[in-house]
Amino acid sequence: MSAPALSRTRIKICGLTREADVDAAIEAGADAIGFVLYPKSPRAVTAGRAAELASRLPPFITPVLLFVNEDAPKVIASLAQVKGSIAQFHGEETPQQCEEAAGGGRFRYMRAARIPLGDAGAGFDLVKYASDYSHAQAILLDAHVEGYGGGGKAFDWSLLPPAVDAHLVLSGGLTPANVSDGIRILRTRCKTLSVDVSSGVEIDGPGNKGLKDAGKIRQFVAAVRAADASFSS
């Protein structure tokens, strides 16, 4: 693997359901906006709603559609409906199923790797996983919790391999308080590193999944930029 590129860390804000939250993410400087198209998620939206929200995005901010074990025709139709979007496969999709659901190269996609919590994380072969899904634009790292995504849990980042020949997206339990540590630990272990936050920038309290806190979004972006600055200093 070539030397890691120490470019700025890209930021994705995921699980958005409201116009105000999309606008807050744009204003804070997010690079990508995530919409959950998994009906069982408390943050779920339809493809039509995702298209409506994504229409607020200016150029060069990417909409990402999260799917879990969805039929390929529905994935393709959703990606076509939300212009400029890429897919994030978060279930048990095989490499072949990912390719099929991405229209055989028509659309780009990321593949989520569900890393076990605790010491078991050391047994996850991320190098092989990245090789198996080599057609994915990036491998997204999330904690393996019951259900699919949105658990707000962080796995042990230090247990990941020292060198992975892939673009990685760190997710799972990130907050404004810990994202700089994640960047510090992982940034030199891959081609490039991005970060993805959902529950860590939501309004406090039960029943607020999918409702973002604009202040927390700004704090998260500021923490990422501060971490980047520490690498260049």
pLDDT band at 147 (very low <50, low <70, confident <90, very high): low
pLDDT of 52 over the 80 cut: yes
pLDDT value, residue 233: 66
Span 121-137, average pLDDT: 97
- Note down the domain range covering 154: 10-230
Q: Of 23, 119, 132, 142, which residue is the catalytic one?
A: 142
Stronger pLDDT, 158 or 1, i.e. the higher one:
158
Q: Of 14, 21, 98, 190, which residue is the catalytic one?
A: 14
pLDDT in tens, 172-198: 999 999 999 999 999 999 999 999 999
Q: 5 in a domain, yes or no?
A: no
Span 5-13, average pLDDT: 85
Stronger pLDDT, 6 or 51, i.e. the higher one:
51
pLDDT of 3 over the 70 cut: no
Q: 203 in a domain, yes or no?
A: yes
pLDDT band at 32 (very low <50, low <70, confident <90, very high): very high
Classify each residue of 56-93 as buried b or exposed e, where b means 16 or more C-beta atoms within 10 Å of its C-beta.
ebeeebbbbbbbbebebeebbebbeebeebbbbbbeeb
Domain count, the chain: 1
pLDDT value, residue 150: 55
Q: 1 in a domain, yes or no?
A: no
pLDDT value, residue 2: 44
Separation of alpha carbons 173 and 198, rounded Å: 8
Q: 74 in a domain, yes or no?
A: yes
Q: 2 in a domain, yes or no?
A: no
Residue 14 a catalytic site member: yes
pLDDT value, residue 6: 59
pLDDT value, residue 24: 98
SS3 content of the chain, % helix, strand, coil (to 5): 35, 20, 45
**Contacts (Cβ under 8 Å, ≥6 apart) of 192:** 4, 5, 7, 10, 167, 168
Task: Give one word for 147, left, alpha or beta, with left for phi > 0 and alpha for psi -120 to 50.
Answer: left
Residue 142 a catalytic site member: yes
Stronger pLDDT, 5 or 111, i.e. the higher one:
111
**CATH code, domain with 83:** 3.20.20.70
